[in-house]
């Protein structure tokens, strides 16, 4: 008894007594587990019997609950539709996808059989039909360029020429240029074009993404409550440490909770399925590319972790390319807090997912036979947390490493950048050019690339410098520089002299519009 109660006796009990106590405790634990397991089995059987017995009543309660919810939605919309518009949209989307999943799960074979004759006919006529489609596509592109140039100006031709130039460069430096499959390349560029057209050129698309951006900004501001409690009322005095980094922690927590309940897997599966159908990419690379829209480069491959040992080199290259091309959800909030438009960041991340697959398949074409081609047999990995609170705690704990990486990288890279700028300025001073620094060098190197991307000529020098920071240093450094430019332009301060717009780098080198 002394041994089991952890009370230190005056005299140590004999070794045999200790062993017998340990053995008795082990037997008690085995008996407890056996009884508890039997108890759970009985409870589970009773629950199953209860559900079977009251199946009709449960269905009736579910129907009543759904009807009550719909009544609440209708009442809210009738009182003030503008105020209840988000609830209405969420409800409509939920009903649509529930019906979609139900039909696919129950009638997938019938749907496939219904479209099977059309698929066979398309395969038979594909030899001549593809040339008709190619000709129609070329005519459509020419007509678009003519009408859009007449309306928007010659800048659109520069962007189109830049797109052709980038595709040509990637084709020249491709691993296997004679093995390129052009369907995913053209499909990825086409999906990017359609997304950009819907989001940036239509009022509805622009309003939707602008509304999403505002909602994300509002949602991220809730992290201020925790930051204020931990760091005090004057936490804004240390903007980056106490304002930006808590957003990373908060967003990581929320994403972990959504991943636990299965919402992220469901959403990523839908987006990945769309890309797989339209682009002809494999399930693994499609899911990872879709996942990178919402999660980071480290987390998205974990969605298909059991299948990673079986991917081909081309699929692995696509996984890595997709990770580098999009913005991780955990740091998206940090970039928004810098002052960068949330709708622009969200648009860029969504459009980059299909473009990353197109780039990857052009740079490293598929030369092997993928083992995983059946979409129905691919299951995404689930979270390891046992409940929602544990998922939230794990998400917050996981962000510690991310926050630490951000902090140490910024300290080291900014210090290294200051030293490099000082050394370059000293070298430039020898030739009466003390303005020489790393940003100027990158600006001159990347200025043609930024101009071919569609940036105005007067802004291409600035964007070239930012591209250099992002390429050679750290994207956080580039966004920190970009935030300064955004704030200066909003204030209308040193960016304007006598009402004339000025163009400058962060190092205060001015370039007048004259």
Q: Which of 119, 260, 130 minimizes the C-alpha distance to 186? A: 130
Please tell me the predicted confidence (pLDDT) of residue 43.
62
Residue 92 or residue 56, greater confidence: 92
Please tell me the predicted confidence (pLDDT) of residue 19.
57
Contact call for residues 357 and 189 (beta carbons, < 8 A): no
Structural domain spans, the chain: 15-50, 56-119, 174-403, 437-512
Contact call for residues 334 and 248 (beta carbons, < 8 A): yes
Please tell me the predicted confidence (pLDDT) of residue 477.
78
First vs last C-alpha separation in the chain: 93
Q: Give CA–CA dist 136/255, Å, rounded.
A: 43
> What does 403-468 look like in DSSP terms, one character per residue?
HHHHHHHHHHHHHHHHHHHHHHHHHHHTTT-TT--HHHHHHHHHHHHHHHTT--HHHHHHHHHHHH
Local structure of 238: helix, strand or coil: coil
Handedness of CA 361, 363, 364, 365 (dihedral sign): positive
Confidence of residue 182 (pLDDT cuts 50, 70, 90): confident
Share of the chain above pLDDT 90, in %: 0
Average pLDDT over the chain, rounded to an integer:
77
Q: What is the pLDDT of residues 259-315, one digit of tens each?
A: 888 777 777 777 777 888 888 888 888 888 888 887 777 667 767 767 778 888 888
Give, for 503, the enclosing helix (H) or strand (E). Answer: strand 500-504
Q: Give CA–CA dist 272/281, Å, rounded.
A: 9
Say which residue the tokens 């100006």 belong to. 153
Query: What phi, psi does 375 have (nearest 5°)?
Result: -65, -35
> What does 144-183 look like in DSSP terms, one character per residue?
HHHHHHHHH-THHHHHHHHHHHHHHHHHHT-SSGGG--HH
Contact call for residues 249 and 396 (beta carbons, < 8 A): yes
């Amino acid at each position: 008894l002394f041994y089991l109660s952890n009370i230190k006796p005056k005299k140590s009990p004999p070794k045999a007594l200790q062993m017998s106590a340990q053995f008795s405790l082990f037997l008690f634990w085995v008996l407890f587990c056996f009884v508890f397991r039997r108890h759970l089995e009985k409870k589970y059987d009773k629950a199953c019997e209860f559900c079977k017995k009251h199946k009709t009543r449960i269905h009736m309660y579910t129907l009543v609950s759904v009807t009550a919810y719909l009544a609440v939605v209708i009442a809210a919309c009738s009182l003030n539709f503008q105020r209840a518009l988000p609830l209405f949209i969420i409800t409509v989307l939920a009903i649509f996808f529930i019906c979609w999943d139900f039909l696919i799960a129950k009638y997938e074979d019938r749907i496939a059989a219904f479209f099977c004759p059309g698929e066979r006919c398309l395969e038979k006529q594909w030899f001549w039909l593809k040339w008709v489609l190619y000709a129609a596509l070329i005519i459509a592109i020419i007509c678009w360029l003519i009408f859009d140039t007449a309306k928007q100006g010659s800048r659109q031709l520069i962007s189109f020429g830049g797109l052709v130039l980038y595709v040509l460069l990637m084709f020249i430096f491709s691993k296997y240029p004679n093995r390129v499959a052009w369907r995913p390349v053209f499909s990825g560029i086409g999906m990017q074009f359609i997304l950009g057209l819907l989001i940036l050129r239509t009022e509805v698309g622009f309003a939707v993404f602008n509304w999403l951006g505002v909602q994300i900004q509002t949602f991220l501001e809730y992290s201020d409550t925790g930051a204020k409690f931990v760091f005090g009322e004057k936490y804004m005095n240390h903007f980056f440490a106490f304002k930006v980094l808590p957003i990373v922690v908060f967003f990581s927590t929320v994403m972990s909770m959504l991943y636990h309940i299965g919402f992220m897997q469901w959403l990523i599966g839908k987006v990945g399925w769309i890309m797989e159908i339209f682009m002809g990419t494999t399930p693994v690379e499609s899911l990872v590319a879709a996942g990178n829209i919402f999660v980071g480069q480290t987390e998205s491959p974990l969605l298909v972790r059991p299948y990673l040992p079986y991917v081909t080199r081309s699929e692995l290259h696509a996984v890595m390319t997709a990770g580098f091309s999009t913005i991780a959800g955990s740091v998206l909030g940090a970039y928004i807090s810098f002052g960068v438009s949330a709708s622009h960041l969200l648009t860029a991340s969504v459009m980059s997912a299909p473009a990353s697959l197109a780039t990857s398949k052009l740079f490293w074409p598929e030369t092997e036979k993928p083992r995983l081609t059946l979409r129905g047999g691919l299951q995404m990995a689930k979270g390891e947390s046992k409940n929602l609170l544990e998922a939230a705690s794990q998400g917050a704990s996981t962000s510690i490493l991310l926050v630490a990486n951000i902090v140490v990288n910024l300290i080291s890279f900014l210090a290294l950048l200051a030293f490099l700028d000082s050394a370059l300025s000293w070298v430039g001073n020898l030739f009466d050019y003390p303005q020489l620094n790393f940003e100027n060098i990158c600006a001159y190197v990347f200025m043609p690339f930024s101009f071919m991307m569609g940036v105005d000529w007067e802004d291409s020098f600035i964007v070239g410098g930012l591209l250099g920071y992002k390429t050679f240093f750290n994207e956080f450094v580039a966004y920190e520089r970009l935030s300064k430019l955004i704030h200066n332009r909003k204030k209308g301060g040193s960016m304007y002299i006598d009402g004339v717009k000025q163009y400058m780098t962060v190092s205060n080198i001015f370039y007048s519009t004259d």
